[in-house]
Structure 1
């Protein structure tokens, strides 16, 4: 039984969505997310079109062009287009 579960996970990894080209992966807190970043939700990458803060709690409501809104309350990995990066943040980035 365990062998089947292991094989199932490996097959799922093969079909993982590919991040948008020309983006850098970065682990960010809700306060550091930017419009234009891409986040993986429901197995696809969605670009952030707009966002709003929720009080002083550090959470943000993210609005996407082709997806319902999503509340970001924890650190997540975003894929940021290379045009939005600053030279001082290049050293801790991973090209997708």
Structure 2
């Protein structure tokens, strides 16, 4: 949905959502399952998680995002995780 309902949405416009970082896959993660190196969409930018602080139940987790600063993750969110050889199912 466009931010400006009076203008139609077009790719490349300021209303367009950013493309996820290349070489990543989307995952729905609980705050306890995010990792350093994951990317999170905040303020229409994919930001890399540089560090994690605080664990626990109802308080969530404080994520240190590159180029943004601390951000509190209290519920499950979609993150984009870099695909590595450990993530492939080899049988």
**TM superposition score category, shorter chain reference:** 0.7 to 0.9
Distance across 2 between alignment mates of 1:75 and 1:39? 11
Q: Is there any run of 5+ residues in structure 2 with no aligned partner, and where?
A: none
Q: Let me know the Cα RMSD of the aligned residues.
A: 2.3
Normalized against structure 2, the TM-score is what?
A: 0.76
1:19 matched residue in structure 2? 20
Between structures 1 and 2, the one with greater helix share: 1
Any idea what the Cα deviations from partners look like across 1:28-51, whole Å, max 9, x if unmatched? 110110000000000000000001
Normalized against structure 1, the TM-score is what?
A: 0.72
1:71 matched residue in structure 2? 72
Runs of 4+ in 1 over 6 A off after TM superposition: none
Distance across 2 between alignment mates of 1:45 and 1:61? 17
User: How far apart are residue 64 of structure 1 and its match?
Assistant: 1.5
